[in-house]
Structure 1
């Protein structure tokens, strides 16, 4: 009995030691350079370019055979996985290799003469669901599907890869000051959600109706409840299973699901301010600046970074106060959505140009504006010399995320315009749906369709892997095998739901 008790104590001590090692593994990190992060992020639109030339010139993904699925997976999942693991030290080389492959495909003669190209076809169930008729006020543009799908794929990869030694520590979330790929991923998730959230606002404006504030608030709360419930489930599971956690990320009890769940009702409340600031971008910038002023002129910054955790607020101060920065990012994403979602956007200064080129020029202008604001906010010689902090979600972090995502949306839009101009000339809703599906990856459409459900599954699988595999002790070969298997399961689940026409709304 004594030996059994001693063995149990040794096992428990070993478990506590390993848990501490895992927490140390993701703590006190300083991140990497903005340039390197931009090179890694650039892999996604470069992959989109390679996929698009394969489809536009060779009709490679039509029909969607088993080989087409494998290539689709290798490009839109495999290449992104390589960018954060085996090619993490050479993302520029990976981009050059992908661009070389795209140039080679462009040099190969097209599969069909341009004058006799077949009209893209859809599976019978998709054709029947989109009857002929005039297109609606809003459209789901291919580049948005590709952007959101890629963002979800990278997010799912990173939340598990970060627990392995093969994943560079400079890509993991920084402790307080600095930039990293995962810091960008968190903000990108919020920015992307903001783009989608502009859809009901645009529909309401197109119909000329006004929904009372109480009704909009009640509706937003209904959307928030599942996310808040997931936040509590994650909290209970982390505490109950004694799972390794990084307290300074959001706090003792707070997690990212709480941030996502609280965004919709607060956005509804802030929409009332549009009467004073008639622009989501202006509102986002105003909120970001005011939050930064409070951080710099009061004791709030010191409180967030160094206060003892004595009560519920101080225990969760990172999550509570960083929420205002994420709200600003969400509003900036909503502004982008107001620009890119309308079928016939009204873009000042670009009258007389085709829809696609007007959209492209407008996105270019906004990308330059956000990038310039980030430069003047952070540059020591010509600007304010502020430092990015994801933990605070301060103004430099907000501007970095918005500038980077605006540029990514622009890059995907450029690929769209160059390779699939037919989408913008679709005469009716059915033709537009066909053109959209011909211009987007089936894998990315599947991730995009059930994004939150797939993200939840990714969190569950991440927990399962961490409870069954000592991730800090495995080799690079084993790491890649686990990550490939994990992404295969996620992709199979997403594509399977899409094949059976199932949408899980959370």
Structure 2
């Protein structure tokens, strides 16, 4: 890469201060609003059943392109985009009669997809919640969109990662990625709790989780050597000289096993998450640790060179445990009380979102003289950052769960076959594919991002050219995700 252009690229993503949380909320609201319109089309018109070419295009426009446009062309007017998407939904609600029973909105048994048949045949004891699938897929889509869009001028600088202090869309995206991983990890936790007699010792579980982390750590090494070898533009203060996000997510699983043991004495993962965040914040405020991470010279040792990645790991561990906590709450259920379990999950998410929001306000503002007024720092992954990520993700989950509750109510006497059919009917196939193949899509997104940046001068292209590239990139990711799903290949994070 040309040295002058490399310097411009690095300056393009450096020394940024982020934007307002209200704007970030308005931009990310497009995902629930798009799902709202999708749900109205499906519940009232069965528009996506059968899944025709037109249905695929509309699905892509709603659940992928809308997110892309919210972060680029409509970045200065996200509320307008939300209004444009929500308006057809409200018009349909006013002019289309509601089906008398859920069965009228369901597809015929012959139209059931292969996915529902496979889900029925799988001996899965825990429920599959459409709103969880939608939440994780929407998070994956906005993450994949942002990692390439940030290299173009059409993506506002206030959405890119803040240097030291501040809130931005990409700062939130990193934490949300970790939180969602914690949510889905609760599935294995609940399975192990239901079979305590066969629970393996800590050492064996630690070694097993370490083996499972090896692919991610290898990917981290591949990224490290490819960036250095290709002289690719990099932002060293993000994680350090050698550290990258693959190392962070790869090391989470082994450390979580340790806290699974502590959970026998402190059975609340929320308390564990808050405990880590509080102790880490105390260390930042009462020692020289904050100065060491932020402003000290980088020494020759590996810790000094990678201090951001090493110490921010504590904050991400707290985020992961908080996600694990809410995942355990909403995935467990009494099979005989499915509608009640849905209401319980919705209530729990609402309470959790409110609680985390109050804690965040008290921690990051003066809050009428009672708050600590500690600024958010993704670079440190400090306590305000942890609380912000947890509050946002619980709120997003609440919105997706609310939409599912309204448009796809659970029957009073559910059956396993009926649940599989209902789940398939209530979930976008594109979002299902992104959720099912998260690892493959995330890797492909990183590879395509590198290929685009090495092929074209992203800083110098026009808005039209940038959007053509970004829409094409999103279409390729979607096509691969859907193709893997049709081939029944599953590669998740």
Normalised TM-score (structure 1): 0.93
How do residues 418-437 of structure 1 correspond to structure 2 at under 5 angstroms? Answer: 418-422=406-410, 425=412, 427-437=414-424
* 1:287 counterpart residue number: 276
Alpha carbons 1:130, 1:429 under 8 Å: kept: no
Q: Does 1:46 align with 2:33?
A: yes
* Alpha-carbon spacing, 1:116–1:297, altered in 2? closer, same or farther (3 Å): closer
Give 2:391's match in structure 1, choosing from 375, 395, 403: 403
Question: Aligned to 2:44, which of 32, 54, 57?
Answer: 57
Deviations 1:202-230 (A, max 9, x none): 01112233221122112211210000000
Match 2:226 to one of 202, 227, 237: 237
Contact kept? 2:438, 2:492, Cα under 8 Å: no
1:312 offset after TM fit, Å? 1.1
Which of 295, 302, 314 is equivalent to 2:304? Answer: 314
1:136 Cα deviation from its structure 2 partner: 5.1
- CA contact under 8 A between 2:42 and 2:426: conserved in structure 1? yes
Matched-pair contact (CA < 8 Å) for 1:221–1:264: yes
- C-alpha distance in 2 between matches for 1:279 and 1:273: 10
- Deviation per residue, 1:80-135 (Å, 9 max, x gap): 011000110011111122221210121232597759726424556335424479x8
1:184 aligns with 2:164: no
> In the alignment, which of 446, 455, 469 is matched to residue 433 of structure 2?
446
Q: d(CA) in 2 for partners of 1:118 and 1:157?
A: 33
2:194 alignment partner, SS class: helix
Larger gyration radius, structure 1 or structure 2: 1
TM normalised by structure 2 equals 0.95
How many angstroms does 1:72 deviate by? 0.1
Please report how far the alpha carbon of residue 500 of structure 1 lies from its aligned counterpart in structure 2 after TM superposition. 1.2
Q: How does 1:76-115 map to 2 (within 5 A)?
A: 76-110=63-97
2:159 alignment partner in structure 1 = 171
Q: Is the 8 A contact 1:47 1:98 kept in 2?
A: yes
Paired with 1:484 and 1:363, the residues of 2 have a C-alpha distance of: 33
Structure-to-structure mapping, 1:260-299, within 5 angstroms: 260-299=249-288
| Distance in 1 (alpha carbons) for counterparts of 2:163 and 2:335 | 41
CA contact (8 A) 1:231 1:257 kept: yes
Alignment partner, residue 324 of structure 1: 314
Q: Is the 8 A contact 2:106 2:425 kept in 1?
A: no
In the alignment, is residue 360 of structure 1 matched against residue 346 of structure 2?
yes
Q: Against the structure 1 CA distance between its residues 71 and 451, is the aligned structure 2 distance closer, same or farther, given a 3 Å change threshold?
A: same
Distance 1:294 1:444 in 2: 41
Stretches of structure 2 that go unaligned for 5 or more consecutive residues are none
* Contact 1:136 1:343 (8 Å CA) reproduced: no
- By how many angstroms is 1:155 displaced? 0.3
Q: Is 2:485 the partner of 1:495? A: no
- Extract unaligned runs of 5+ from structure 1: 1-11
How far did residue 504 of structure 1 move?
A: 2.9
Work out the CA distance in 2 between the residues paired with 1:198 and 1:178: 30
Note the C-alpha offset of 1:384.
Answer: 0.4
Structure 1 residues 237 and 118: CA distance shift in structure 2, 3 A: same
Structural mapping, 1:199-214, within 5 Å = 199-209=187-197, 210-214=199-203
Q: Given the alignment, which residue of 355, 361, 373 partners 1:375?
A: 361
Task: Give the CA RMSD over aligned residues.
Answer: 2.0
Q: Deviations over 1:427-450 (max 9, x none)?
A: 332221111110011000000001
Equivalent in the alignment of 1:4:
none
**Could you say which residue in structure 1 is the equivalent of 2:455?**
468
Question: Are the structure 2 counterparts of residues 222 and 483 from structure 1 closer, same or farther at C-alpha, using a change threshold of 3 Å?
Answer: same
CA contact (8 A) 2:365 2:372 kept: yes
- Aligned equivalents of 2:184 and 2:425: distance in 1? 22
Looking at structure 2, the residues matched to 241 and 73 of structure 1 have their Cα atoms a distance apart, in angstroms, of: 34
Distance apart, 1:354 and its partner CA = 2.1
Give the Cα separation in 1 of the matches to 2:331 and 2:152. 39
1:334 aligns with 2:321: no
Q: Is the 8 A contact 2:220 2:246 kept in 1?
A: yes
Q: Which moved more, 1:124-133 or 1:308-317?
A: 124-133
The answer for the alignment partner of 1:300 in structure 2 is: 289
Corresponding position: 1:392 with 2:380: yes
Tell me, in whole angstroms, the C-alpha distance in 2 between the residues paired with 1:156 and 1:496.
17
